[in-house]
Amino acid sequence: MIITFRIDDKEKSEFEQFCNSVGITPSAALSLFIRKTITTKRIPFDISNDERSLAEKEEIKTAVASKKAIEEAVMKFANLMSELNKFSEMLKIKAK
């Protein structure tokens, strides 16, 4: 069977050079890719797109914002506890 597809001349040349350097033909390399895909029932390398990384970046931004909000709430709580302790001490002094 013959499969034909278009590829950039520079990429074709680089692919041929790589294949020659490892001692196989471009046809053999593509056959290996096809066999591996069939036997593992998956593309033999990870594929991702910018949308995924954008989603991950948004999750990080949200997490950072949440962390800041929690830190601010903890500081407010600590300040309120300090004020409450001062008020409690003032009431003790007045009660005596």
Instruction: Specify whether the CB–CB gap between 12 and 22 falls below 8 A.
Output: no
Mean pLDDT calculated for residue range 47-73: 82
Measured at the alpha carbon of residue 43, what is the angle toward residues 42 and 49, in degrees to the nearest 5? 120
pTM of the predicted model, to two decimals? Answer: 0.48
What would the mean pLDDT of 65-85 be, rounded to a whole number?
93
User: With bands split at pLDDT 50, 70 and 90, how would you rate the model's confidence at 24?
Assistant: very high
The model's pLDDT over 42-59, given as tens digits with 9 standing for 90+, comes to 988 877 666 667 778 788
